[in-house]
Amino acid sequence: MFILLRHLIFNRENLLPVPVPDFTKRLCCGWATLLVLLFCPASSGYAEPSVDVQKLSVAIVQSEEGGSYAEFSDALRKTLGDRVLTHVEIDLDKPIPNAGLVVAVGMKAATTVAASNAPAVLNVLIPKAGYEKLLRDFPRRASSHTFGAIFLDQPVHRQVLLITSILPDKKNVGLLYSSPPKELPQFRKELLEHGLSLHVQAVNPGLPLSESLQELLHSSEVMLAQPDAAVYNSSTIRNILLATYRSSVPLIGYSSGYVKAGALCAVFSSPVQIATQTAALIRQFGDLHVLPVAQYPQEFEVLVNEQVARSLGLQIKSAAKLHDEISAENGGEP
């Protein structure tokens, strides 16, 4: 709820019809932050940052202009106030601004910033696999404590909790992948703990996707989608969804887009939520000068496609309820 409120407040600027100069924004951000700090209870999870956060210079480097990146940046700036020096889109001509901490938004920015000599980098809006790739590609960063990340991915248990919450009756979960994801064992374990069995199917590159899909659908009651471009992409999503419809097997997505496309539901974190988390980490960095270990997003949202639910003839809880349930069961860090 608080999150929602905060979200509302922070995002209010975006509702303004006229463009607002930075200075005003900052001012508003400052006042908003003050107000929030005065009136909002402490957020869950993190300790209040110390005042020293004022001395830190932070630069945000976006992979692209606009969209989610801008959403994130705006939110972050609002939270941090005038501490944020520069706001840069990834551009080969422009050098990474000299800042105490660079926030890299998106994989492109993350790659570029990692390659630069920014002292501390916090990578956000990147998948876990992506972060692991960065670590592989930039060992220097890997060994530092100033190379953190907030994943896009949701932790496994959260995803499993979604399944159990929304479809308590379904026991068989299907997973279609091109190559087995790293979290596969975790999934299996987690699902098992909840009394669900995992069915997996690898897509045979020589055969049509639908065949592998059909195979899986035979044995699954619900399908869980994982980021896997070879399987789930703009071209295939619709047909996969259709296939699942025809088999009356609901598909759990991993983004809002998926739900809009026709997945039953999904857990995801919005850029704003990530920004909040980012701000906290920044404050923490300001104090400690180290970044915590790369982490999953803490705040999350649940989105449900009720039309799909109806089409599939499913009675399901509302998104809010599901969120509460998941939050309640999900006590701490993954």
Minimum CB separation from other proteins for residue 152, in Å? Answer: 5
Dist. CA 9–CA 129, nearest whole Å: 33
Q: What is the CA radius of gyration of the chain?
A: 21
What are the tokens at 42?
């402490």
Report the residue number, 268 or 285, with the smaller CB distance to other proteins. 268
> Phi and psi (nearest 5°) for 222?
-145, 145
Q: Which part of the chain contacts other proteins (CB under 8 A), choosing from 2-10, 89-97, 156-164, 226-234?
A: 226-234
Cβ-contact 2, 40 below 8 angstroms: yes
Query: What is the CA 104 to chain-centroid distance, rounded?
Result: 14
Q: Does 300 bind other proteins (CB under 8 A)?
A: no
DSSP letter string, 200-232: EEEPPTTS-HHHHHHHHHHH-SEEE----TTTS
Report the residue number, 159 or 284, with the smaller CB distance to other proteins. 159
Among the listed residues 138, 177, 187, 268, the single contact to other proteins using CB under 8 A: 268
H or E element at residue 98: none
51: region left, alpha or beta (phi > 0 left; psi from -120 to 50 alpha): alpha
Q: Which part of the chain contacts other proteins (CB under 8 A), choosing from 92-100, 229-237, 276-284, 316-324?
A: 229-237
Q: Does 64 bind other proteins (CB under 8 A)?
A: yes
Minimum CB separation from other proteins for residue 103, in Å? Answer: 15
> Phi and psi (nearest 5°) for 64?
-145, 165
Residues 117-156 that bind other proteins (CB under 8 A): 125-127, 129-130, 152-153
Extended beta strands in the chain, E state:
58-62, 84-89, 101-105, 121-126, 147-151, 172-177, 197-202, 222-224, 251-253, 265-268, 301-304
Q: Give CA angle at 36 (35, 42), nearest 5°.
A: 140
Q: Does 208 bind other proteins (CB under 8 A)?
A: yes
Q: Does 67 bind other proteins (CB under 8 A)?
A: yes
Q: Which part of the chain contacts other proteins (CB under 8 A), choosing from 141-149, 184-192, 237-245, 298-306?
A: 237-245
Residues 302-331 that bind other proteins (CB under 8 A): none
Minimum CB separation from other proteins for residue 21, in Å? Answer: 26
Report the residue number, 196 or 319, with the smaller CB distance to other proteins. 319
Residues 239-258 that bind other proteins (CB under 8 A): 239, 242-243, 246, 254-258
Residues at the contact surface with other proteins, assessed by CB under 8 A: 63-64, 67-69, 106-107, 125-127, 129-130, 152-153, 208-211, 214, 227-229, 232-239, 242-243, 246, 254-258, 261, 268, 271
